[in-house]
Structures are given as structure tokens and as C-alpha cells.
């Protein structure tokens, strides 16, 4: 359903122009509704422009998306999308965090002119932040986002926000939204002609808690949409569905407290120093990989451990400790970026003089790196990005 341009209420200063609202139709009135702000940018600060006529096509594309959500969820959830035309060029590059979302919405979407290497879509989701962007081309098949791609990106936000009683389908190498590509590839035969990232039958089962994994039906059950509410409702004080440690990040982004591991396991030796170095470098690399993922850059190469000589020395212990502290710092920065939490002040410097050549020092370095790795696992599951 496409309604006429929605009413007043825009701020007095320069503001985007409302183009219209679209809403899922054919569902009962009490269906929970995600309210999405969809802003169209027809030019970018890098000089890319889109033909003005695309704006009306975007309204039809938005309507196809909201109807598809009602259809795939069998009316477990609906979407109201307010489409507005930006009055400024898009200046966010490929940064999904730059997508605007005024108060009163569950999610912010933006349609922007594609850069030379922009992906088709990108999303980010956490318990509180829901944004998606769709870079488009002036003409041709890439001139408007595919409605199924819009569902895909929105599902990243859904997966980040809701907690299904039986959990989301997942695996080690793919998140719930992408699992139709590998873990649950049998869905591909059901939807010939669709890319594995946008399989309608898989997305539908995900939204209805019907993805069978290990004999258990996973995904969000039809009733859970209403029970758990939308981000807007939860922020407004609606009853929370209960403890949700996986998607309620600490707001202040203070790193996990390092805790000692098994006693007696650590010895001051060259091989232990190598292990120590591998853990610290691994934590730093994973932090850099997640940062690159959020920036839309390729993953940095994994550091190779040099075969060169390592000695049990104060200098070597200090190097390892600095790498751990740097990893811890980058994890805190990532946490603040992903959750909107505050950045704690953390020391990254350690004078070599203060480093002792003993097992306690070695263990301390290792605890910090291991805590960083634990925090990274949490952040990696919170941050979602598309490569569809």
C-alpha cells in the first residue's frame, strides 16, 4: 500500500522532503510494526548523482519490500516505511553508521549513489542500533535495491535484536542470515533462481522459527515478534522478554576483567612466549578484521609468526604485553562504535622497565589477550554486515 505523503511534524530547519509512506497490507491490525525511516540521497559528496526520476521508483521498491515482509512472515510482523528525499548530498561513503534515523523509528535505511566498489547493501544491528544502506547505480538493474536484498539487510537487524527461545540458526562460519548459503543450503533447491543470500523460503523460516538444526526448530517463532516488541517499543519501556546477555552489551565498553587460567600451566619459556605472542597477535588481528568489516574494507592479512629467534627477555615480554594492550584498546573502540557506549580510558603504554621477566607478567599479558578475544566474539556476533 502506498499512502500519500505523510503529514507535518518535520523540524523547522532545512529538512528532507517527505515522499510518501508505504505499509504492509493485508495483515491484522494488532501485528507489531517496525517503523523504518528510508532516506533517498540523489547525490553524494564525491560527485555521484542519480536521476531525479529514481525517487518515484524507490517508493514502489519500498512498497515491494514491506509487502514481502508481511508475506514471508505470514503477518507475524509488518513494516511501515516513511520515504523521504534528502536535501543534502550523501557524505557517509560506505559507512552504514552515517545513515540517519530520527527519533520515533525502529530503523534507519538510506539509498545512496554507489561508489566504485560499493556493495549492494549493508546493515548493522545491535540491541539499540539498526541501520541499513543501499548504494544504487544511475541506471540498469542496480538502480533500485532488490526487495529481497532489503529483507536480507533488515534481517541482520532482526537477528541482532530478538532472542528466539531456541536460538537463531548459526554455525562457525556463517551467521543466521547467511546460513542459506552453506549450513542450510538445501533451501537453494526450493528457490531456484534466487541467490543463496536472499532465499525466500529460508528467510521465511527464519522469521517463523522453522529452520531445523540438530532436530530443533530455530529462528523467531511467529508469536515472539509481538511478545518481544520492536526496538522502539522496548526503548519506550515495554516489558523486556527477559535476560538477553547476548545482545545487551555493556554500555561503557569496559573490557572483560582478565582472569587467570589454569594454575601451573604457564612456564617462562620460549615456547610459552610464542604461544603468548600468537594469542596477543590473534586478538589484535581479529580486532582489525572486525574494524575492516565495519568499514567495508577487505580483511587485513593474518600475521604470520616469524620463524626468527625469540628469547626470554624483558624486551620480548614488553612487546607481547603492548600487543595485548593494543588489542584491548581496539576492542573497546569497537564496542563503543557498535553499541554507542562510552569509551573507557585504557592505558596502552607500558614502560619496559616496569615489565618483569617472570611467569606473572607472562600470564597477565595472556589474560588480557584472552579477555580481548572473548569480548571480540561477543562484538562479532553483534556487528552484522552484508555481503549479499
Q: Which residues bind Zn ion (CB under 5 A)?
A: 386
CA angle 313, 314, 320 (to 5 degrees): 95
- The CB-of-296 to Zn ion minimum distance in angstroms stands at 12
- Compute the distance between CA of residue 337 and CA of residue 176 in angstroms, rounded to an integer: 22
- The contacts of residue 9 (CB under 8 Å, 6+ apart) are none
Rg (CA), the chain: 23
Q: Please, which residue, 16 or 125, has the CB nearer to Zn ion? A: 125
* Nearest-angstrom CA–CA distance, 304 and 293: 20
Q: Which residues contact 50 (CB under 8 A, 6 or more apart)?
A: 42, 43, 113, 136, 138, 143
Q: How far is the CB of 155 from Zn ion (least distance, A)?
A: 8
| Nearer Cβ to Zn ion (59/68) | 68
Q: Residue of minimal CB distance from Zn ion?
A: 386
Measured from the CB of residue 139, what is the shortest distance to Zn ion in angstroms?
A: 25
For residues 75 and 14, the answer to whether their CB atoms sit within 8 Å is no
Nearer to Zn ion, 42 or 177 (CB): 177
Q: Which is nearer to Zn ion, 247 or 386 (CB)?
A: 386
Place of cell 533517498: 40
CB of 93 to Zn ion, least distance (A): 19
- Minimum distance from residue 384 beta carbon to Zn ion (Å): 7
DSSP three-state, residue 111: strand
C-beta closer to Zn ion: residue 149 or 373: 149
Residues 293, 297: Cα–Cα separation, whole Å: 6
For Zn ion, the closer CB: 67 or 386: 386
Which secondary-structure segment (H or E) carries 36? strand 33-40
Specify the 3-state DSSP secondary structure of 294: helix
- To the nearest whole angstrom, how small is the minimum distance from the Cβ of residue 64 to Zn ion? 19
Amino acid at each position: 500500500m502506498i499512502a500519500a505523503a505523510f503529514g507535518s511534524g518535520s523540524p523547522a530547519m532545512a529538512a528532507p522532503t517527505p515522499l510518501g509512506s508505504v505499509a504492509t497490507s493485508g495483515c491484522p491490525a494488532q501485528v507489531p510494526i517496525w517503523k523504518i525511516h528510508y532516506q533517498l540521497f540523489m547525490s553524494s559528496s564525491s560527485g555521484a548523482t542519480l536521476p531525479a526520476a529514481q525517487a518515484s521508483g524507490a517508493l514502489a521498491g519500498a512498497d515491494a519490500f514491506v509487502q514481502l515482509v508481511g508475506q514471508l512472515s505470514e503477518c507475524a510482523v509488518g513494516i511501515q516505511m516513511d520515504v523521504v528525499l534528502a536535501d543534502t548530498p550523501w557524505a557517509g561513503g560506505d559507512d552504514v553508521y552515517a545513515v540517519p534515523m530520527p527519533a520515533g523509528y525502529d530503523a534507519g535505511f538510506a539509498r545512496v549513489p554507489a561508489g566504485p566498489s560499493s556493495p549492494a547493501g549493508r546493515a548493522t544491528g545491535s540491541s539499540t542500533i539498526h541501520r541499513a544502506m543501499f548504494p544504487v547505480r544511475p541506471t540498469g538493474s542496480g538502480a533500485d535495491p532488490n526487495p529481497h536484498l532489503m529483507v536480507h539487510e533488515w534481517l541482520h537487524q532482526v537477528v541482532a535484536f530478538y532472542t528466539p527461545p531456541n536460538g537463531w540458526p548459526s554455525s562457525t562460519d556463517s551467521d543466521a542470515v547467511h546460513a542459506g548459503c552453506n549450513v542450510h543450503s538445501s533451501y537453494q533447491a526450493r528457490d531456484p533462481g534466487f541467490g543463496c543470500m536472499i532465499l525466500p523460503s529460508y528467510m521465511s523460516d527464519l522469521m517463523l522459527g522453522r529452520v531445523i538444526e540438530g532436530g530443533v526448530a530455530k529462528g523467531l517463532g511467529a508469536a515472539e515478534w509481538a511478545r518481544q516488541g520492536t526496538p522502539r517499543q522496548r526503548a519506550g519501556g515495554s516489558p523486556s522478554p527477559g535476560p538477553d546477555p547476548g545482545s545487551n552489551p555493556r554500555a561503557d565498553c569496559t573490557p572483560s576483567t582478565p582472569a587467570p587460567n589454569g594454575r601451573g600451566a604457564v612456564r617462562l619459556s620460549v615456547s610459552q612466549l610464542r604461544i603468548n605472542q600468537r594469542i596477543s597477535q590473534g586478538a589484535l588481528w581479529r580486532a582489525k578484521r572486525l574494524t575492516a568489516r565495519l568499514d567495508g574494507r577487505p580483511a587485513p592479512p593474518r600475521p604470520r609468526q616469524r620463524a626468527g629467534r625469540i628469547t626470554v627477555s624483558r624486551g620480548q615480554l614488553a612487546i607481547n604485553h603492548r600487543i595485548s594492550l593494543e588489542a584491548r584498546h581496539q576492542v573497546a573502540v569497537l564496542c563503543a562504535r557498535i553499541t554507542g557506549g562510552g569509551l573507557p580510558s585504557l592505558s596502552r603504554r607500558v614502560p619496559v622497565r616496569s615489565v618483569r621477566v617472570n611467569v606473572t607478567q607472562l600470564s597477565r599479558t595472556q589474560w588480557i589477550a584472552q579477555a580481548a578475544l572473548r569480548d571480540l566474539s561477543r562484538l562479532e556476533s553483534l556487528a552484522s554486515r552484508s555481503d549479499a
